Amino acid sequence: MAQNVGQLNVDTAPQQSTASRWGQLMLNKVPEITIFFWLIKVLCTTVGETAADLLNETLDLGLSGTSVVMGVLLLIVLFFQFRARRYIPSVYWLAVVLLSIVGTLITDNLVDTYEVPLETTTIIFGVALIVTFVAWYASERTLSIHTIYTTRREAFYWLAILFTFALGTAAGDLVAERFELGYVTAVLIFGAAIAAVTIAHYAFGLDAVLTFWVAYILTRPLGASLGDFLSQPVDDGGLGLGTITTSVLFLAAILILVSYLAVTRVDAPRPEVALKAPAVAD
């Protein structure tokens, strides 16, 4: 999507007198929406699919145990993400990677351990995401990611991200496996849907905030289907690269891109939509 995606509904900052610890002002915590954002997002979603399978096999704790371990690690990283007063590429994208893994594990745990149908998990997480957006908008009057400058807004943001990953995993598996369309077909379907959303934004002026979130949601099943296609055995419709090789390749690509962003700061939030934070140590 374009760099201006998510810039609508940018409102004025809350008055300093009303900024509590929960709503304290800070610099915008989300990067600019550039091509790097979407590249890393798709890479993260693919890693979430393959790494979740790899960790489940390696740790030998079962899906529930693996979910707990990765959930604790996610909470630790989110602690540092919330504590930071500005966007830090390494911390932000590590949180996204872990959210992708945890979201996948949550869905897999419900489906494989508790035998909840994929249709049901897709509906559950879809409803949960809608409720999150409704509560977010009711509280803040905006869903723009360019106004993530209070702790409350950041909490809504990360909760929405978690549900997009869980929903995307369920929807991707539903299309590729339950409907037996295959991984390649699923990749093409979700890729075409993202292209349609992009065209709707550029050619027909569809709301930037709406198109951003729709595209963000669709990248999850796209990445999940891509990860399965690369890692699963040939007999199951994949390329047979395995979860280790696929995870390592994509993690390496993420590391290279995030390192580039950390040095160049090309995706740093623009000053006209970022607010000067109070004097709080990083």
Structure tokens at 268: 């740093």
Confidence of residue 235 (pLDDT cuts 50, 70, 90): confident
| Percentage with pLDDT > 90 across the chain | 60
Instruction: Tell me what pLDDT residue 265 has.
Output: 93
Percent residues over pLDDT 70 in the chain: 86
Confidence bin at 278 (pLDDT 50/70/90): very low
C-alpha triplet 67, 50, 198: angle, nearest 5°: 105
Residue 5 to residue 13: CA distance in whole angstroms: 20
pLDDT above 80 for 178: no
Asked if the model's pLDDT at residue 173 lies above 90, the reply is no
Whole-number pLDDT of residue 270 = 73
User: Is pLDDT larger for residue 29 or for residue 73?
Assistant: 73
Cα-based distances in Å from 53 to 26, 102, 190, 245: 37, 11, 22, 12
First to last CA, the chain: 31
**What angle separates helix 35-59 from helix 62-83, to the nearest 10 degrees?**
140
* pLDDT tens track for 61-115: 888 899 999 999 999 999 999 999 889 999 999 999 999 999 999 999 999 989 9
Per-residue HEC secondary structure of 43-109 comes to: HHHHHHHHHHHHHHHHHCCHHHHHHHHHHHHHHHHHHHHHHCCCCCHHHHHHHHHHHHHHHHHHHHH
Query: Has residue 25 got a pLDDT over 60?
Result: no
Task: Report pTM.
Answer: 0.84
Tens digits of residue pLDDT in 267-276: 998 764 444 3
